[in-house]
Structure 1
Amino acid sequence: MKRSNIIKKIYSKQLIQLLKGFFDYNIMAHFRPLPPRHILMPITYRCNARCVMCNIWKMPIKAELTIGQIDQILADDIFRSVETLTITGGEPILRDDLVELVALFIGKLTRLNQLTITTNGLLPDKTIQFIQKIAQTCLKNNIHLSVSVSVDGVGEVHDRIRGIPGAFEKIEKAISQLKELQKEYGFYLGGGCVVQPSSLHNLSDLEQWHKKNDFDGSFQLLGFHETYVANLEKKDEISFTEKDKKALLTFIEKRAKDRSLFNFQSYYWHDMLQMYKHGKPRKTVCPMMMDAFVLDAYGDVYWCLSEPEAKIGNCLSGPSCSDIYYSPDNLKVRKYIRENKCPNCNSGCLTRFGIRSEIFGYLWYLLLRQ
């Protein structure tokens, strides 16, 4: 199946979900908390990269949830409403039981229809071995699989950002072999780049590489977080400077102008342009504040991974995920984050789902395209 057809298939399904979700986001959410449809799960914080913008790899290693413990957690009724699961890290491929974990998730999350796995591609042989087995399981169970490989630049640029000599050569090998698997199993294959000073002035080279290799690349603006990537200490060192501003705004504006019915991300980039150019607050709704949560490798539950106060419990040693998610006190925390933190957040995480709350604004935005 051609990449363009796979992408259209994904976005066509998302358009249907957008229409279905409009009622819940704009009406039902005012009367009761929406059940979670989306889960983001860092299944490990271990990482074999040494990225300049991230300190995950410096975190002390702790005991991660076992398959048995995850099985126990997934017995909670709250997981019956989950439709999409994003498995991330750290580096998920470092979990030797990843294939078995995916099978468990598919068996327990009865409404699951989309699975996304992120990888840095630094273990190409193991990645191919795992993804082939996961793709077989997903195909058998009618689950749409998306695989996202981190690509931050071409050649030495990527190596420098990832802190690993030869990293780009490894991801090219991984991507080449994943494309062969894609032909057989029809999953989506794309990649993500963190837009930061180290990559900003080489993004045109990366976009040319995307085009040359028929690779669907996406971008995320650099963010600073006390939790998750734990990179606040690097803020002065790796933040955008005044001399980066013109190139940054040019890049964002280019992404915002790429408007089409199936490119929901352009709406988010338009929002970022207003934020970075005019200092306006973010308007794009984040599903993490509506019908999603994070369950990490230690059983900790978060509303999102961007704010320290978003950690709301541990479902292994404390209450169930249901009790944590629907707790009145925790819902107040979510409301506080939505009203006070989200307006200044640049994260594009799951925005393609959040667009459902703004369908009329989105359609109006498309009508005004030039």
Structure 2
Amino acid sequence: MRWTDGIKMAPAALEARFGLGLPFKLLLSLTDRCNCRCTHCGIWKRRHGDELTPQEIDSLLSNWKGLKWVDLTGGEPTMRPDILELADIVTAHSKGWSFLHFATNGLRPKVAFDFAQKLAQPVGPSVVVTVSIDGPRELHDSMRGVKGAFDLAIETAGSLQQIPGVEVYIGTTVTGSNIEHLEETQAAIGSAMSGFRVQDWHINLMTRSKHFFGNMDLKPLSKDQVTSAIATVLKLRPTTLKPFSIIERLFLQNLLLYTKTGKAPVPCEALRASIFVGPTGDVYPCHILGPNLGNLRDFGMDIAGLLGNSKGRLKQDCNDCWTPCEAYPTMFSHPLATVVSSLKSLR
């Protein structure tokens, strides 16, 4: 991410704050297919449904005015047999975007490389890929349910680093299984991955979601566990002037405040700044929160038409959270409030 990316997003973020226009960030789950068997996620247990076709995704992006930030997720995106066709469609629309991201478990290094290489255009958004690694080798393989998963993820991250214009981050989902092993995880990644820097390590707390993760049966992390995890990561992360480094630190400090109060430190902008679209076209305010606002296929893949009667349905159901997918665009919409609330966490 470049400083200029944030500047380009500023007008859209300001519009979102006042409920003008469409959300500037799309979190699009491409598939429920997954080649991992993670203990903290139930997506892999589902049968993948009638996924949006490349042509439907093309229509969705064509109809979306003011889109600046696209986040592609799954399941495992590289499991779609048409993933490279989807890359061509995404890049055809991405010239005016600021930021393009996808997440991968790294089990298909060649496909992930080819996908990222197609997404990285000389004139286009910053392209960022997050490769998931949840622990040292044995722990990661156990949590992901795949022997050799750690080594494949390292291979994938290393190959992606060779693509000009692609930034690579390692993402760790903190659960009850690895919360006592964060320092070991960071050390194991650093030992196995050439050029790894701690500031390129992103953590995300395990969250529960019925319509996305399908893991409502899991016990959430306790307040003490969360506080301990954040303290460990803040201790390990150096402070740099790179945009992502600053944003990540602000996110973590606000997460600490959220843990203390149980309230989002900045008013959430889900449905105004960001929105979640599932693999079959169902639309939700975010990846955590219901209700289902409708299916894009019923509106000719026109997000504006679907949202026309939906924007008043969020606040009555929101139970407050602070997860990166929605917190980051919220922070862009409320930069001053984000800084002020992060300072409160230090008290």
TM-score normalized by structure 2? 0.86
- Are 1:294 and 2:276 an aligned pair? yes
What pairs up with 1:1-370 in 2 under 5 angstroms? Answer: 10-17=1-8, 20=11, 23-26=14-17, 29=18, 32-76=19-63, 79-108=64-93, 111-132=96-117, 134-135=118-119, 138-179=120-161, 181-182=162-163, 185-212=164-191, 213=193, 214-215=196-197, 216-235=200-219, 239-240=220-221, 245=224, 248-255=226-233, 262=243, 263-276=246-259, 278-309=260-291, 311-318=292-299, 320-327=302-309, 330-337=310-317, 340-342=318-320, 345-364=321-340
The range that moved more, 360-369 or 261-270, is 360-369
| Closer, same or farther: CA 22–89 of 1 in aligned 2, 3 Å | closer
- 1:293 Cα deviation (Å)? 1.5
Give the whole-Å Cα distance in 2 for the aligned partners of 1:129 and 1:264.
28
Hey, what's the Cα distance between the residues in 1 that align with 2:69 and 2:96? 9
Query: Would the aligned equivalents of 1:300 and 1:315 in 2 still touch at CA under 8 Å?
Result: yes
Q: Would the aligned equivalents of 1:57 and 1:90 in 2 still touch at CA under 8 Å? A: yes
Secondary structure at the aligned position of 2:103 is classed as strand
Question: Structure 1 counterpart of 2:216, which letter?
Answer: L
Name which of structure 1's ranges 152-161 and 252-261 shifts more when overlaid on structure 2. Answer: 252-261
Q: Distance in 2 between matches of 1:102 and 1:315?
A: 21
Q: CA deviation at 1:81?
A: 1.0
* Separation of aligned partners in 2, 1:316 and 1:68: 12
Structure 1 pair 142–100 and aligned structure 2 pair: CA distance change class (3 A): same
What's the CA shift for 1:150?
Answer: 0.6
Contact persistence 2:16–2:24 (CA under 8 A): no
Q: Which SS does the other structure have where 1:85 is aligned? A: strand
Provide closer, same or farther for how the CA distance between residues 254 and 357 of structure 1 changes in structure 2, counting only shifts above 3 A: farther
Whole-angstrom distance in 2 between the partners of 1:234 and 1:353? 27
Q: Displacement, 1:198? A: 0.7
The percent identity for this pair of structures is: 23
Taking the aligned partners of 1:198 and 1:128, their CA distance within structure 2 comes to 30
Determine the structure 2 residue equivalent to 1:7: none
> Displacement, 1:69?
2.5
SS of the residue 1:160 aligns to: helix
Question: Contact 1:18/1:353 (CA < 8 Å) preserved in 2?
Answer: no
Q: Which residue of 2 aligns with 1:5?
A: none
Using the alignment, how far apart are the partners of 2:144 and 2:6 within structure 1?
35
CA contact (8 A) 1:302 1:312 kept: yes
Gaps of 5+ in 2: none
Shifted more, 32-41 versus 256-265: the winner is: 256-265
Tell me, yes or no, if the aligned pair for 2:70 and 2:100 is still in contact at 8 Å. Answer: yes
Q: Deviations over 1:95-140 (max 9, x none)?
A: 12212212212323552232111110011233223333x14xx324
* Cross-structure match for 1:3: none
Structure 1 pair 90–280 and aligned structure 2 pair: CA distance change class (3 A)? closer
Q: Deviations over 1:266-303 (max 9, x none)?
A: 22222222333x34412134442422222222111121
Query: Following the alignment from structure 2 to structure 1, what is the Cα–Cα distance between the partners of residues 323 and 78?
Result: 24
Q: Give me the TM-score of the superposition, normalised by structure 1.
A: 0.81
| RMSD over equivalenced CA pairs, Å | 2.7
Structure index of larger Rg: 1
8 A Cα contact 1:285 1:355, kept in partner: no
